[in-house]
């Protein structure tokens, strides 16, 4: 079983991919950048505000799949500048107060639309 997850509460896919795919036991999200779903573009400027938007986008996608952030088992986080790590971490940590997921986080050369951060997750149903 493979089900496509879509919600208007998160940004539409900007390419040939789905917001998330749900299988019998797992949910795999595509990377979320800080696009405001209402504006259709990145409106936040700071790493903190962009991280908040990314996490809210992920929360909306997961909610559509019927799970919360507490069901995330792995995140992969991409930063345009590793010097933003501490500020990113400060916001990210607010979403995982207990039993945080496994995580990878690293700097990349560039992110779509000039974003400062992108995060993708794997969650269990």
Q: In the chain, where does DSSP find H-type helix?
A: 47-64, 85-93
Q: What does the pLDDT read at residue 44?
A: 96
d(CA 92, CA 84): 12
Q: What is the pTM of this model?
A: 0.96
Domain residues for the domain of 104 are 3-124
- Chunked mean pLDDT (size 10), the chain, 125 residues: 95 91 97 96 97 98 97 98 98 96 98 97 97
d(CA 117, CA 23): 27
As annotated, the active-site residues are 105
Domain containing 111 — which CATH number?
3.30.1330.40
Query: The tokens of 57 are what?
Result: 């986008």
Report the number of distinct structural domains present in the chain: 1
């Amino acid at each position: 079983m493979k089900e496509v997850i879509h919600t208007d509460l998160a940004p539409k896919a900007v390419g040939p991919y789905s917001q998330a795919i749900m299988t019998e036991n797992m949910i795999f999200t595509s990377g979320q950048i800080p696009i405001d779903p209402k504006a259709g573009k990145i409106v936040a400027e700071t790493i903190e505000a962009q991280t908040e938007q990314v996490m809210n986008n992920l929360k909306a996608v997961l909610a559509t799949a019927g799970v919360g952030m507490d069901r995330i088992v792995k995140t992969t986080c991409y930063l345009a500048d590793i010097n933003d790590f501490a500020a990113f971490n400060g916001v990210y940590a607010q979403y995982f107060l207990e039993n945080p997921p496994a995580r990878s986080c690293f700097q990349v050369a560039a992110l779509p639309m000039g974003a400062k951060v992108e995060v993708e997750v794997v969650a269990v149903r």
